[in-house]
């Protein structure tokens, strides 16, 4: 399972998610098939982590979506984007 971060080319907004098929999921985001990201297309993949255990991947995704995780992610990526 993958935890991924994509960045909107339109306004630099970040989106954090998880999936089993990263290529398919990125296509879904860029085709407007994901309600929460449709308005900010197109998207580019900026970070992807592979985890063997789904539970660990979901915990990592949840961490990145937390206040502390967002700060860690911004520092890690060197960004000032909205997440």
The predicted-structure confidence for 31-73, as pLDDT tens digits, reads as follows: 999 999 999 999 999 999 999 999 999 999 999 999 999 999 8
Q: What is the pTM assigned to this prediction?
A: 0.88
Domain spanning 2-77: which CATH class is it, in words? alpha beta
What are the extents of the domains in the chain?
2-77
CB 13 within 8 A of CB 7: yes
Q: How far apart are CA 63 and CA 4, in angstroms?
A: 12
In whole angstroms, how large is the CA radius of gyration of the chain?
Answer: 12
CA dist 68 and 71 (Å) reads 5
Q: How far apart are CA 69 and CA 37, in angstroms?
A: 20
């Amino acid at each position: 399972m993958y935890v991924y971060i994509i960045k909107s080319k339109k306004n630099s907004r970040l989106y954090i998610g998880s999936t089993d098929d990263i290529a398919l999921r990125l296509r879904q985001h860029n085709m407007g098939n994901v309600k929460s990201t449709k308005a900010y297309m197109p998207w580019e993949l900026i970070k992807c982590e592979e985890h063997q255990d789904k539970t660990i991947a979901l915990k990592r995704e949840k961490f990145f979506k937390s206040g502390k995780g967002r700060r860690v992610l911004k520092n890690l990526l060197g960004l000032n984007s909205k997440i």
